[in-house]
Chains A and B, each alone.
Chain A
C-alpha cells in the first residue's frame, strides 16, 4: 500500500494560489494519484486524478514529477468556499482497488478574507 504524507493544515487568503504537496515514496507502477475535498458535514468529493506530468480541470491542477514520489494539488485564486479538508490518495483504482485506498487525516485548508 502506498503511504501518503501531507501537511496537517495550511492557511491562505482569498485570491491566492494554494499548493498542497503529498509525498508517496512507495507508489507502485499501476497506482494513480487522486485528490478529494471534504466540507464539514458532507462526504468527500472528487477533485482531480492523475498518473504523471500535469493534469488540469476546471477546479484544480495536479503536478506529478517524473519519479512520481510526490504530487502537488494547486488551487488557483482560492475563495472562502475552498475552506475544507483535502485528501491525497494513491492506489490502483482502475483495477477496483478502492478497498486498498487509505484516507489519512488530510490537509485542513483555511482561507481567510
Chain B
C-alpha cells in the first residue's frame, strides 16, 4: 500500500516548456487535490477533484490544467511554464478513517524549477 505517489520527484524546465505531473493513490479515495508550496509559505490549492469525472478550481488555478483520468489518477499539466511556477507541488487525497477522523494524505512532492 503506497498511499499517494507522485512523479517525477524533480524537474527543471525552461520558460515556455510544458509538462505533466502525475499523481496516483491506491486507497480508493474519491477526492484528490493539487497544492503548490513556495519557499517559506503554506500550501495553496491549485485544483481539486471531488470525484471521478469532476474537477474544480482552487485558489491559484491560472497556468494549470488537470485531468482526473480515473479514480486512482489525477494529473496536473503546465502548458507553458513560467518562472513564477517554480515551486514544490503536492498531491493529496483525504478520507475518513476508522478512528473517526478525516485526514488528508499527501504525496512526497515534485520539486519544479522553471528557468
| 13 further interface pairs, Cβ-Cβ under 8 Å (given A101-B45, A103-B43, A105-B41) | A36-B104, A42-B108, A45-B106, A46-B103, A46-B105, A96-B31, A96-B50, A98-B33, A99-B33, A99-B58, A103-B42, A103-B44, A106-B42
Interface size in chain A (residues, C-beta < 8 A): 22
Main secondary structure of the interface of B (DSSP, over half): strand
The residues in B between 16 and 61 inclusive whose CB is less than 8 angstroms from any CB of A are 31, 33, 35, 40-45, 48, 50, 56, 58
Partner of B102 from the list A41, A94, A99, A105 (CB cut-off 8 Å) is A94
Q: Of B69-77, B78-86, B90-98, which binds chain A?
A: B90-98
A43 in contact with B92 given A103-B43, A103-B44, A105-B42 (CB within 8 Å): yes
Contact status A98-B94, CB under 8 Å? yes
Interface CB pairs A-B, < 8 A, 27: A32-B102, A34-B101, A34-B102, A42-B108, A42-B109, A43-B4, A43-B107, A44-B43, A44-B104, A45-B106, A46-B104, A49-B102, A49-B103, A93-B94, A93-B102, A96-B50, A98-B31, A98-B94, A99-B45, A99-B50, A101-B45, A102-B42, A103-B35, A104-B42, A105-B40, A105-B41, A106-B42
Q: How far is the CA of A68 from the CA of B43 in the complex (A)?
A: 24
Residues of B within 8 A of A98 (CB): 31, 33, 48, 94, 104
Q: Does A63 contact B (CB under 8 A)?
A: no
Nearest residue in A to B40 (C-beta to C-beta)?
A: A105
The residue in chain A whose Cβ has the minimal distance to the Cβ of B6 is A43
Closest to A49 in B: B101
Interface size, chain B (Cβ < 8 Å): 28
Q: Is the CB of A46 within 8 A of B101?
A: yes
B-contact 0/1 string along A8-29, CB 8 Å cutoff: 0000000000000000000000
- Shortest Cβ distance from residue A103 to the other chain B in the assembled complex, whole angstroms: 4
Contacts A49-B102, A96-B31, A98-B104 given: A43-B90 contact, CB under 8 Å?
A: yes
When distances are taken between beta carbons in the complex, the residues of chain A under 8 Å from B56 are: 99
Closest CB-CB distance, B48 to chain A, in whole Å?
A: 5
